Structure 1
Amino acid sequence: MPTHDGPDAASPGTPSRRTQAERRAQAEAALIAAAARLIARHGSAGVTLARVGEEAGFSRGLASHYFGSKAALLARLQEEALAEAMAAAAPERSGAGAVDELCGFVRGCLEGVRKPTDLGRAFVVLGAEALAGASELTAAVAELDARTRAWVADVVRHGVAGGEVRAALDPGAFALAMVGLVKGLVVQGATDPDAFDVTVAAAEAERWIRLALVAA
C-alpha cells in the first residue's frame, strides 16, 4: 500500500488547499480509526505507532509525529470512544431533564453492544487490559471513569436543583453505581454478544435509574 505523510492536499477533483489544521484533523482521525481496528482485532500489546501509520495508509512516522507516544494515542482513542457513546445518546440529551439525559446516555452506550464499532470494541479491549495492570492504560481508563462519574454526578446535581431528582440522593454514590452498571453490561456484551437482550437490558437499566432518582 502506498504511504504518504498525511492526507493529500491536492488530489484530483478535490477543492484547493485545506488548512494545516484541517489536514492534521483528518490525519489524526484516520490514525485513530486505524488504531481502533488493530486493537479491536489484536489487542494493544502488538500495536506500534509505526503499524498504526501503515494501517492508516500514511508514513510509519506520522502517528509518532502527531501523538508523541503510544500511551498518548491510546488515551486519545479512549476519549473518542467515550465521545462516540455520548453522541449516540444526543437526541435524548438535547434539552432533556436529568432523568431523560442519563437514560439516553445509557441507551446510547448499550446500542454500541448491539451495533459495535471498531472504536467501541477497542475501548472495551483497552478497559480489560487496564484491569490487568497494563501501565500504559490503567491511568487513562481511571481518568475517563472519573470524568464520566463527574459528568453523571453533575447531571444529578442539576436535577436536584431543578426539583426533578430527590434531594436526599448522593450524586457521587449514584454516579459510581451507574458507571459500574453501564461498564458491566458493555463488557458482558463484548465478551458474549448473546449474553443478554440489549432492549431488555436497556429497559431495566432505565427503570433502575428512574427509581433511584425519583423514588421517595
Structure 2
Amino acid sequence: MPTHDDPATRATAPQGPPARRTQAERRAHAEAALIAAAARLIAEHGSTGVTLARVGEEAGFSRGLATHYFGSKAALLARLQEEALAEAMAAAAPERSGAGAAEELCRFARGVLEGVRHPTDLGRAFVVLGAEALAGTSELTTAVAELDARTRGWVADVVGQGLADGELRAGAGVGAGAGVEVGAGVDPGAGVDAGAFAFAFVGLLKGLVVQAAAAPEAFDVATATVEAERWIRLALGAA
C-alpha cells in the first residue's frame, strides 16, 4: 500500500486551486493590457480621438480603469512611448555585445529596420505619435524630444567607448557626448565627433522609419539596411 511519501501518491494528489495573484501582479497585468489596447487604437486611428474610457473598453475593463491607473491621457501616452522605446531598444540592441562601436550601431540600425518589416502595435503607435509630435498635434511633443535625446545619448556613449578603445579616431572637440554643439569646430577629415554623429544617426533612422510608414509598398527594407550600415561605417571611419 502506498504511503503518504510515495512519489506516485504525490504525483496524483490534488494540487489545490492556483495561487491568487498579488495586488501588484494584478495591477501590472491590467496596466499592460491597457497599454496594449492604447497601442492598437493609436496605430489604427491616431491619438486624437482616443480617450481613456475607450482604452478601458478596448482592454476589456471598465471605462474608468485607465483613468484610475494613469490619471490622464498624457500620462498614458507617455508610458506607451516609454514601453515602445524599450521594445525598440531591446529588439535592436538587447545588450552591449563588445563587438565594437561600428558593429554595435549597425546592429541597432538592423533591429530598427527589421521592426519596419514586422511592426508590432507598439512600434506602429510609436511612429504615429512621433509624426503627431512633429506636426505639433500631440500632447507628447516634449516627451518625444526627450526620448530622442535619450537615444542620442546612448549612441554617443557607444561612439565614446569606441574612441576610448582606440577603435575610432577622435574629431575636434570630441568627448562632450550628446550635448556637443553640432558642427562646432568639427573637421570632417579629423575623425568622428560623438555628439554630431548621434544627431545624424538618429535622424537617419527616424527618416527611414517615417518613409516606410508613409509608403510601405515602396520601401525596401533590405536596401535601406545595407545603405544605413554603409553610411554608419563611413561616418565612423570604420572598415
TM-score (normalised: structure 2): 0.80
Cα 1:200–1:46 shift into 2, 3 Å: same
RMSD: 1.8
1:80 shift after superposition: 1.1
- Pair 16,134 (structure 1): closer, same or farther in 2 beyond 3 Å: same
Deviation at 1:96, TM superposition (A): 3.1
Report how far residue 72 of structure 1 moved. Answer: 1.0
2:83 pairs with 1:83: no
Out of 176-185 and 78-87, give the one that drifted further. 78-87
Q: Does 1:58 align with 2:61?
A: yes
How far apart are the structure 2 equivalents of 1:14 and 1:203? 54
Unpaired stretches in structure 1, ≥5 consecutive residues: 1-12
Give the alignment partner of residue 202 of structure 1, picking from 215, 222, 225. 225
Q: Which has the larger radius of gyration?
A: 2
Q: Which residue of 1 aligns with 2:26?
A: 23
Change (3 A) 1:196 1:178: same
SS at 2:39 equivalent: helix
Instruction: Give 1:203 shift.
Output: 1.2
Instruction: Note the alpha carbon deviations across 1:131-156, whole angstroms, 9 max, x for none.
Output: 12125121111111111111111111
The structure 1 residue matched to 2:163, chosen from 155, 160, 163, is 160
Q: Given residue 175 of structure 1, which amino acid in structure 2 is its aligned partner? A: A
Of 195, 205, 229, the match for 1:182 = 205
Quote the Cα distance in structure 1 between the aligned partners of 2:204 and 2:138.
25
Any conservation in 1 of the 2:155–2:198 contact (CA below 8 Å)? yes
Residues 14 and 40 of structure 1: CA distance in aligned 2, closer, same or farther (over 3 Å): farther
8 Å Cα contact 2:40/2:125 also seen in 1 = yes
TM-score normalised to structure 1 length: 0.89
